[in-house]
Amino acid sequence: MTLRRRLSAVFVVALLAVAGLATGAAPAVASNLEGGHWAHDGLAHSQIYFVDHTGAFWPVTSATYKWNEARGVDSYYVTRCPSSRLHCTDVYEFNDPSQTFYGETFLPLTDGNGHFRWNAAVYLNDATVHNSTQARKTTCQELGHVLGLDHQYTNTTCMMQGDAIALHISVTPNAHDFDMLHGLYAHAN
């Protein structure tokens, strides 16, 4: 993870980018939380709105519905951000052959309670993702980052980095991902 300021024209705070690299490995970890999460804002569940700006190649709809199975945090698929702009994550596709990652998520900094202070953004790379399996895995992973999950190093979950076909990586989350989210959001604020 690296600190990026690519979106500084839009976001007034520095953003944490989580890139889905085409290569890379790291030691196994028990927790795959990134450290931040979305505030409840007085609601029973935290709400996240995924605002889909992509075309049909990118399965933002199905990925959102799958993540919505997580307990304690509600994911909504929309094509326009609610007027409140509360917890909106814009999901874009782009085509940049100079970028080697499949997808990249920009997370805002967190406040003292670990709550993200502003909205997130997801970029899905048309230049590196060429088949529907990779598109499903990458979309699942970037949306998982938005909810607060980091990578896992097992191919039973979309949170593993790499080539989904060559490495037989799942295109959906696993039980560990859902357990981590349940724990992350199982509090009152």
Q: Output 7 or 72, the one with its CB closest to Zn ion.
A: 72
SS3 letters across 130-176: CCHHHHHHHHHHHHHHHHCECCCCCCCCCCCCCCCCCCCCCCCCCHH
Query: Is residue 114 left, alpha or beta, with left meaning phi > 0 and alpha meaning psi from -120 to 50?
Result: left
148 binds Zn ion (CB under 5 A): no
Tokens 């600190």 label which residue? Answer: 3
With residue 49 as reference, give the H or E element that holds it: strand 46-52
Question: How do 46-52 and 88-94 pair as beta strands?
Answer: parallel
Q: Tell me the closest approach of the beta carbon of residue 135 to Zn ion, in angstroms.
A: 14
Site stretch for Zn ion (CB under 5 A), options 69-77, 119-127, 136-144, 176-184: 136-144
Q: Output 82 or 183, the one with its CB closest to Zn ion.
A: 183
Q: Output 20 or 59, the one with its CB closest to Zn ion.
A: 20
Q: Tell me the closest approach of the beta carbon of residue 48 to Zn ion, in angstroms.
A: 13
Q: Output 54 or 141, the one with its CB closest to Zn ion.
A: 141
Q: Tell me the closest approach of the beta carbon of residue 26 to Zn ion, in angstroms.
A: 11
178: three-class secondary structure by DSSP: helix
- What is the C-alpha separation between 102 and 97, in angstroms, rounded? 11
Closest residue to Zn ion, based on beta-carbon distance: 20
Give, as ranges, the residues between 45 and 74 that touch Zn ion (CB under 5 A).
none
Rounded to whole angstroms, the maximal C-alpha distance in the chain is 44
Q: Tell me the closest approach of the beta carbon of residue 112 to Zn ion, in angstroms.
A: 11
Backbone angles phi, psi at 105, to 5 degrees: -120, 130
- What is the C-alpha separation between 152 and 140, in angstroms, rounded? 13
20 binds Zn ion (CB under 5 A): yes
144 binds Zn ion (CB under 5 A): no
Site stretch for Zn ion (CB under 5 A), options 12-20, 27-35, 54-62, 63-71: 12-20
Q: Tell me the closest approach of the beta carbon of residue 165 to Zn ion, in angstroms.
A: 17
Which residues contribute to the site for Zn ion (CB under 5 A)? 20, 141
